Structure 1
Amino acid sequence: MPHGQPEVGVGPWEGPWPEGAHWDPDLLRDGDRRNVVDRYRYWSLEAIVADLDTRRHDFHVAIENWQHDFNIGTIVRTANAFLAAEVHIVGNRRWNRRGAMVTDRYQHVRHHPDAAALATYLHGLDGGPVRLLGIDNLPGSAHLETMELPRRVCFLFGQEGPGLSAGAREVCDGTFSIAQFGSTRSINASAAAAVAMHGWIRAYADLSGDDAWRG
């Protein structure tokens, strides 16, 4: 179709094949149609994850999963884009992966039965405790726009609608909210997660080299 979606990726490798353990022979032979940046064209999945692991950031993202929330997949995809250390699913183990668009293959995703287990895990990590900050429009919540984000932090999001559960509120080291000026009481959970993650990127990510992809 003249105005259809352009074909994604690249075709089979042309010329002699490159040498190195990170190359995937099947992709070199058949082409690489995955939604990955050019740096990782023809790389095996395992090689990509290993390379990402050398550069992951110090923030984590968690979301409660009591209602099989469709936002979880989108949050995983955004966490992959911003190179989160881990994504944590709290509650039901099964989650809706559709919005992740297979980015969960490249992102470490960990399950916890409840928020208390998540807090225990984060506070006991090597390198020092990771602060657990919930996002909710609660009295006393700090403003994301003016607070100083911890470098080692996990952003915890509740379900679309009810927000953070009572158990999650009890174990959070603090809560913050995102400034809004319209008529709605809240913004979409995946949108809020993207705002929070980007806030961390603006504060701490190294933008001086070639590690920040431009598309």
Structure 2
Amino acid sequence: MTIAGMPSEWADLIDPLVPEILNLVIASWEEMPSPTPDEKEDNITIALCRALMQNRTARGLPFQIRTQLVELEPIPGEDLGRLDIVFIPLVPREDIYFCLESKRLNVVKDGGTRAYAAEYVTFGMLRFVTGQYAKAVRHGGMIAYVLDGNVSRAMTNVEANIRKQRVALCMTATEAFLPSMVLKDDPRVRETHHHRVHETNVFRIHHLFMPTDSPQHQQA
């Protein structure tokens, strides 16, 4: 016998929303002005969140969109997390949400390019794996702002860092960067599977690599 409102039932609400959320994010990204090659992360996130909330499709979907939301009840030993973009279903539980954590990749400045792939893993993915973010649900998202437009290079750098951090990321020896099972036809989307210590279900991180219209990439 199940009881309405149990944590597992609330978590089930996220699963069918994931395809709609990912499609909405991609569509909104493509409608917003392209960031500069060294644009600050917070500025890009605010612009994307504004585009999301202005998107007509979002108005008919069963969730609210918030930015810079604080996770009030992290697991013991973890600091309060500040969630970049959060999609919140209309339920009376603050821990049921889809979090989209943002990171810059391939930042162009002073004539050089910095990958930031290690930071993507350490200060992004690991926060989901430890349960600092999204501890009560089975899906989370990473959005990479690829500021030189070179998605292939960004993916290669991130995948290399994922393999280095495989144990910390709670991934098996055979698991790596996988094609998305949600958006199978979009080469900019990947997913990774993680076996978090505080739960038995597999946790999935959906990775969106969103390129800018950077002159540096166009000239490559």
TM-score, normalization by structure 2 = 0.29
Larger Rg: 1
Structure that is richer in strand per residue: 2
TM-score, normalization by structure 1 = 0.29
